[in-house]
């Protein structure tokens, strides 16, 4: 054959046709050695251990269920429930409760009250606890806000006091903390590779079984169901995202989401639509994802420069993504993204 170029060209085109687009770009890791899906803390949790056993899985699950038992705002024999119904009398708190209160107080102080664990009555008034949404009127809100102040929670030893009429909810930090505790427990038990997803809060232990980092998608805030806008590679860290898309309702074309600004008692309108925090401590990440959402980009980045200890991905309502310097080599936007990527240096 003197001129096999046609054939060669056709072959080349066809071969790219059947192998090109759909081949996995990453070699799949081996299957998990233990895996489970649990419903706890009002959400679906999936745990995948690589090298761990069913016993490790059981230990993690029971640790999380006991945390829920202690910290739930709705379960009648929880410590939080007891505090909310104490009528201002001191209540005995367990180790986890105390740790979370300390974290909540620190974050509240550092963010100028952008995280306030006593917002529960306001959240209830908007209907976010029952899904029977409605917009409370000004008078109702100002009356409720009078009883919102995380600084009036006092701790002496293991005794916690909450003024009557006030109600406390650790929901903004409990899931992240639960992931953090679960990861610690797994590390203690010698598990070196695991990935936990607690209703969207991702907690990793070590790296993947083949030693490569975990690849975690970041939810696209414009999509309500599972789409993602980029991939972040992490090892041994927690990654928590808060966004207005998680829980919201719409009235007269306006979207009202569940992330509340404690100063206004209304959904936080800071220009941000999603905040992802990556760090070593899941509880801190969880609290920061909510409070930096409330603060808005400028103040959030000020917070990052002042305190550090975590990295962040901020997405605003103008399709801009702001990624802090520590993540610049680990974050990849999906191809042809509608978003503009900005790297923030210190």
Partner 1 sequence: MNIKSNKFWVIVIAAVLALCLVAVGIWTWWRNSQPEEEGLIAVVRLDGRIVAAVDLNKVTENYTQTFSGESGNSNTVEFAPGQVRVHDATCPDQICVSQGWADRTTLLPIACLPNSLIVEVAAAQDLGLDSISR
Partner 2 sequence: MNVKRLTFCALLTAIALTIFMVEAQIPLPAPIPGLKLGLANIVTVYAMFALGPRDTLLILISRVFLGSLFAGGSTLPYSMAGGLCCYLIMLLLRKLLTVKQLWVCGAVSSIFHNIGQVAMAIFITKTPSLILYLPFLLIPGIVAGTFTGLAAQFLLQRLGSRIKL
- For binding to partner 1 (CB under 8 A), which residues are involved? 1-3, 6-7, 10-11, 14-15, 17-18, 22-26, 28, 195, 197, 200-202, 208, 214-220, 222-223, 225-229, 231-232, 239-241, 243, 245-246, 276, 334-338
* Residue 21 vs 157, nearer CB to partner 2: 21
Residue with tokens 């305190």: 307
Of 187, 232, 181, give the one whose Cα is nearest residue 205.
187
Residue 6 interacting with partner 2 (CB under 8 A) = yes
Q: Which helix (H) or strand (E) holds 92?
A: strand 91-92
Residue 11 interacting with partner 2 (CB under 8 A) = no
Q: What angle do CA 324, 346, 176 make, to 5 degrees?
A: 40
Stretch of 14-22, 64-72, 125-133, 317-325 contacting partner 2, by CB under 8 A: 14-22
Q: What does the alpha-carbon distance between residue 316 and residue 337 come to, in Å, rounded to a whole number?
A: 14
User: How many CB atoms sit inside 10 A of residue 100's CB?
Assistant: 25
Residue 24 interacting with partner 2 (CB under 8 A) = no
Instruction: Report what 2 binds from partner 1, partner 2, none; CB cut-off 5-8 Å by kind.
Output: partner 1
Question: CB–CB of 196/210 below 8 Å?
Answer: no
Q: What does the alpha-carbon distance between residue 10 and residue 94 come to, in Å, rounded to a whole number?
A: 71
CA distances from 264 to 42, 102, 146, 235 (A): 26, 24, 11, 38
Residue with tokens 């306030």: 116
* Residue 88 vs 338, nearer CB to partner 1: 338
Stretch of 8-16, 93-101, 130-138, 274-282 contacting partner 2, by CB under 8 A: 8-16
Residue 4 interacting with partner 2 (CB under 8 A) = no
Structure tokens at 255: 């979207």
Q: How far is the CB of 196 from partner 1 (least distance, A)?
A: 9
Residue 336 interacting with partner 2 (CB under 8 A) = yes
Looking at the DSSP assignment, which residues form a beta bridge with residue 257? 248
Instruction: Report what 20 binds from partner 1, partner 2, none; CB cut-off 5-8 Å by kind.
Output: partner 2
Residue 10 interacting with partner 2 (CB under 8 A) = yes
- Residue ranges that bind partner 2, judged by CB under 8 A: 6, 10, 13-14, 16-17, 20-22, 335-336
């Amino acid at each position: 054959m003197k001129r096999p170029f046609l054939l060669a060209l056709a072959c080349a085109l066809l071969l790219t046709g059947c192998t090109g687009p759909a081949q996995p770009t990453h070699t799949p890791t081996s299957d998990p050695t233990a895996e489970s899906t649990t419903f706890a803390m009002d959400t679906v949790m999936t745990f995948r251990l690589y090298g761990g056993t069913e016993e490790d899985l059981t230990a993690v699950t029971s640790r999380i269920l006991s945390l829920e038992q202690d910290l739930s705002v709705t379960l009648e024999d929880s410590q939080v429930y007891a505090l909310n119904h104490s009528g201002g009398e001191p209540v005995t708190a367990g180790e986890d409760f105390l740790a979370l209160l300390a974290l909540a107080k620190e974050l509240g102080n550092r963010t100028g009250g952008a995280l306030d664990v006593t917002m529960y009555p306001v959240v209830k008034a908007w209907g976010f606890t029952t899904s029977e949404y409605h917009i409370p009127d000004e008078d109702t809100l100002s009356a409720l806000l009078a009883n919102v102040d995380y600084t009036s929670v006092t701790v002496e030893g293991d005794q916690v006091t909450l003024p009557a009429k006030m109600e406390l909810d650790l929901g903004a930090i409990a899931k992240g903390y639960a992931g953090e505790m679960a990861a610690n427990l797994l590390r203690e038990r010698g598990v070196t590779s695991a990935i936990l997803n607690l209703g969207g809060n991702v907690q990793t232990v070590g790296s993947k079984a083949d030693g490569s980092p975990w690849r975690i998608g970041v939810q696209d805030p414009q999509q309500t169901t599972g789409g993602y806008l980029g991939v972040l590679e992490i090892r041994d860290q927690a990654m928590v995202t808060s966004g207005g898309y998680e829980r919201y309702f719409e009235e007269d074309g306006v979207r009202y989401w569940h992330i509340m600004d404690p100063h206004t008692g209304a959904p936080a309108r800071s220009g941000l639509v999603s905040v992802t925090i990556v760090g070593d401590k899941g509880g801190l990440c969880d609290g920061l994802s909510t409070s930096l959402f409330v603060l808005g980009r400028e103040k959030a980045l000020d917070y990052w420069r002042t305190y550090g200890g975590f990295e962040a991905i901020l997405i605003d309502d103008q399709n801009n993504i702001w990624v802090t310097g520590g993540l610049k080599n680990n974050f990849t936007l999906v191809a042809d993204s509608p978003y503009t990527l900005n790297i923030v240096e210190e």
